[in-house]
Structure 1
Amino acid sequence: MPYHDTVPFGPVAPVKTQNVLADHTTLRLGGPAAGLVVAETTEELLDAVRRAGEPMLLLGGGSNLVIGDAGFDGTVIKIATRGWRIDGDSVEVAAGQNWDEFVAAVVEAGLGGLECLSGIPGSVGATPIQNVGAYGCEVADMLTSVELYDRRTGEVRTMSAADLGFAYRTSVLKGTNAGIVLSVRFALRTDGLSAPVRYAELARALGVELGDRVPAADARKTVLELRRGKGMVLDAADHDTWSAGSFFTNPIIPDAEAEGVLARIGAEAPRYPADGGVKLSAAWLIQHAGFDKGHQGPGGRVSLSTKHTLALTNRGHATTEDLLALAREVRDGVRERFGVTLHPEPLLINCAI
Structure 2
Amino acid sequence: MTTRSSGEAVGVAVPLAEHTTLHLGGPAARLVEATTAEDLVEALRRADTGGDDVLVLGGGSNLVVGDEGFAGTVVRVATTGRRADRVADGTVQLTVEAGEDWDAVVAAAVADGLSGVECLSGIPGRVGAVPVQNVGAYGVEVAELLDSVDVYDRLDGCVRTVPAADLGLAYRTSRLKGSATSVVLRARFALADSGSSVPIRYPELARALGVELGDRVPLAAAREAVLALRAGKGMVLDPADHDTWSAGSFFTNPLVPDEAVPEVLARIAERLGGEAPVPRYPGGPGRTKFSAAWLIERAGFRRGHQGPGGRVALSSKHTLALTNRGTGSTADLLALASEVRDGVRAAFGVVLEPEPVLVNCAL
TM range (shorter): over 0.9
Ranges in structure 2 where 5+ consecutive residues have no aligned partner: 1-8, 87-91, 270-275
Secondary structure of residue in 2 paired with 1:180 = strand
Q: Which residue number corresponds to residue 81 of structure 1?
A: 79
Counterparts of 1:111-126 in structure 2, within 5 Å, are 111-126=114-129
1:35-78: CA deviation from partner (whole Å, max 9, x where unpaired): 11000111110100101123111000000000000001111100
Q: Which residue number corresponds to residue 105 of structure 1?
A: 108
State whether residues 152 and 185 of structure 2, in contact with CA within 8 Å, keep that contact through their aligned partners in structure 1: yes
CA distance, structure 1, for counterparts of residue 154 and residue 307 of structure 2: 40
State whether residues 195 and 219 of structure 2, in contact with CA within 8 Å, keep that contact through their aligned partners in structure 1: yes
Report whether the alignment pairs 1:155 with 2:175.
no
Letter in 2 for 1:56: V
Match of 2:186 among 183, 186, 210: 183
CA distance, structure 2, for counterparts of residue 63 and residue 175 of structure 1: 16
Report whether the alignment pairs 1:174 with 2:206.
no
Report whether the alignment pairs 1:351 with 2:361.
yes
Question: Aligned-pair distance for 1:292?
Answer: 0.5
1:105-138: CA deviation from partner (whole Å, max 9, x where unpaired): 1110110100000000000000000001111111
Report whether the alignment pairs 1:326 with 2:336.
yes
CA distance, structure 1, for counterparts of residue 10 and residue 301 of structure 2: 38
Question: Aligned-pair distance for 1:262?
Answer: 2.0
Question: Aligned-pair distance for 1:179?
Answer: 1.2
Counterparts of 1:223-238 in structure 2, within 5 Å, are 223-238=226-241
CA RMSD across the alignment:
1.1
TM-score by length of 1: 0.94
Ranges in structure 1 where 5+ consecutive residues have no aligned partner: 1-15
Secondary structure of residue in 1 paired with 2:114 = coil
CA distance, structure 1, for counterparts of residue 207 and residue 311 of structure 2: 36
Q: Which residue number corresponds to residue 24 of structure 2?
A: 29
CA distance, structure 1, for counterparts of residue 10 and residue 232 of structure 2: 33
Question: Aligned-pair distance for 1:159?
Answer: 0.4
Question: Aligned-pair distance for 1:17?
Answer: 5.4
CA distance, structure 2, for counterparts of residue 184 and residue 312 of structure 1: 29
Q: Which residue number corresponds to residue 5 of structure 1?
A: none
Question: Aligned-pair distance for 1:263?
Answer: 2.4
Question: Aligned-pair distance for 1:152?
Answer: 1.9
CA distance, structure 1, for counterparts of residue 41 and residue 361 of structure 2: 28
Letter in 2 for 1:36: L
Q: Which residue number corresponds to residue 50 of structure 1?
A: 45
The list of structure 1 runs, each at least 4 consecutive aligned residues, that deviate by more than 3 angstroms after superposition, is none
1:137-187: CA deviation from partner (whole Å, max 9, x where unpaired): 111110000011112221111000100000000000000121110000000
Report whether the alignment pairs 1:316 with 2:311.
no
CA distance, structure 2, for counterparts of residue 49 and residue 176 of structure 1: 14
